[in-house]
A and B are shown apart, each in its own frame.
Chain A
Amino acid sequence: MWEKLLRLDRRWIFVLVALSVLIPLLKPLGLPMKTTEPVLNLYTYIDTLKPHDKAVILVTDFDPSTMPELLPMAEAIMRHCFARKIPLILYGGMYPTFVGMAKMALSRVLPDFPDVKYGEDYVFLGYIPGTSLIILSMGESISKTFGNDYYGNKLDSLPLMQRVKNYDQVALVIDLSGSGTPVWWIIYGYQRYGVRVGCGTTAVSAAQYYPYLQTGQFVGMLGGLKGAAEYETLIERAGIPPGRKTASIGMDAQSIVHLMLIFLIILGNIGYFIVRRKR
């Protein structure tokens, strides 16, 4: 029986994983979820900023391949800033394909905040080439670095950008990324200009960023779908409209798949040792 189990066609595992995702999505279980310290730190940092004062720069350094984890983070942070009247500079990322993600997040969040005004409460910066050089240049002048916003308006003509010249008027930069770009913000933004940095990252990358949390180089971090779900829960508790809560909806499925995989790994190991002993 064990030998048969070890030779099981992997497609049966795929079916099990698919069912483990499908069933909780159709019939949510409402499994409890605890807020972790890195998420709470980032939330508290934003929540304690003064309204209409220093800005938050939100960078969407991701494309559709990591959208399920990072887009809910972008939406939740934007909702938090809009609700708390914290000026938001939305920067569509270091590579040209990332801008679409910022645009998608905006289109989902703006209908819930009809009083938010473009140019006064938020500004949308598009793509310009330069990667890490952009981070350095923004420390001198954001308007000179970009020139125009995403829609082609002169940045100097927007009331928010007349106040926010460089990182001196920025309280926090949050980089949502599935790659190594959050570290660039520490290297060129925090170390060079002292601007505080937070990050949201895919679960694959999360482990590599914990050292920067421990040193305080990151204010806080949202790790993967769970981080996004925790942030959605925090803003909902604060009475901020959380939208569709796509990350939270997926967490039941996430937990069930993890339980199933743990069970399969244990079963596979038991089978391996039993078969080896028989041989």
Chain B
Amino acid sequence: MSTNPWVWVAAFLTLAIYSFLYKDNPVYRFAEHIFMGVSVGYGLVLFWYNSVIPRLWEPLVKGTEPTRFFLLIPILIGALTFSLFVPRYSWLVKYTLAFVVGASAGLSIPLSFETNIFEQVRSTILTRQMLSGWGIVSNLIMFIGVIVTLAYFYFSMEHKGVIGKTARIGRIYIMIAFGASFGYMVMARVSLLIGRMQFLLHDWLGIIK
């Protein structure tokens, strides 16, 4: 059994959170509030000491290069966010948003198109190489899947006749994708439980190696 008091604290909080599975209770709520408070406080302190102090405060106050005053520009843009708290000047936040949206869109749109559309479409086009050997089966399933799923999301025509039948097959593909995602989700949730159980049995109680 562990002699580290922090391991005991973690074990108590783990059991307190799992007590909710029986029913809502004050011990669970106590652990929940501690979690919320610690998470926010921890994140804030880390951000302050890893970001604001070394990247902003120290270069500005202790630095000697004249270029350090350029830092005032992002400070000003960021500070405009707080104008939201003063209704009369809240429109100033639009400048911050315009800067963030403009820069983000400019940076990501061309590369995102390349990554998520062009590359994906390119690898869906059937080539002679893809139709040889056993790969033909999986490549055809994928090719048909892309066509019928896109047909399901084609809303400019009523889903009747050929379009309707294609869209219905598309729905089957979508259901299979949901099933796979759900299976993975169960696996992830069980993994978290296994992780906590391992902590209780190994780190806290020392029952398992």
Binding site for B on A (CB under 8 A): 11, 14, 17-18, 21-22, 25-26, 65-69, 95-97, 99, 126-129, 132-133, 136, 183, 186-188, 190-192, 202-204, 206-208, 211, 214-217, 223-226, 244, 246, 249-250, 253-254, 257-258, 261
5 closest cross-chain pairs (CB), A and B: A68-B195, A96-B46, A203-B188, A250-B194, A203-B187
How many angstroms from the CA of A128 to the CA of B54 in the assembled complex?
9
Contact (Cβ within 8 A) B107 A225: no
Contacts of B42 in A (CB 8 A): 97
Which single residue of chain B is at the shortest CB-CB distance from A189?
B111
Taking the closest CB of chain B, its distance from the CB of A26, in whole angstroms, is 7
Task: Name the distance in Å between A119's Cβ and chain B's nearest Cβ.
Answer: 21
A22–B197 CB distance below 8 A: yes
* Contacts A11-B22, A246-B198 known; 10 new A-B pairs at CB < 8 A: A65-B192, A69-B191, A69-B195, A128-B55, A132-B107, A203-B188, A207-B181, A211-B120, A217-B119, A224-B188
Interface string of B135-163 (1 = CB under 8 A from A): 00000001000000000000000000000
Return chain B residues, CB-CB under 8 Å to A183.
115-116
Q: Any chain A CB within 8 A of the CB of B196?
A: yes
Q: Which residues of B contact A208 (CB under 8 A)?
A: 181
Inter-chain contacts of B108 with A (CB < 8 A): 132, 187
The bracket for how many chain B residues form the interface is: 35 or more
Q: Does B123 contact A (CB under 8 A)?
A: yes
Chain B residues whose C-beta falls within 8 Å of the C-beta of A253 in the assembled complex: 190, 194, 197
B190 neighbours in A (Cβ, 8 Å): 17, 21, 253-254, 257-258
Please tell me if B71 contacts chain A, counting CB pairs below 8 Å: no
Known: A22-B197, A188-B111. A96 touches B120 (CB 8 A): no
What separation, in Å, do the CA atoms of A224 and B180 have in the docked complex? 14
Query: Within the complex, what minimum Cβ distance (angstroms) separates A218 from chain B?
Result: 11
Chain A residue with minimal CB distance to B209? A244
Complex contact B198–A249 (CB within 8 A): yes
Complex CA–CA separation, A95 to B43 (angstroms): 9
- CB pair A97 B201 closer than 8 Å: no
* Nearest Cβ on chain B to A184's Cβ, whole angstroms: 9
Residue contact B193 to A26, C-beta cutoff 8 Å: no
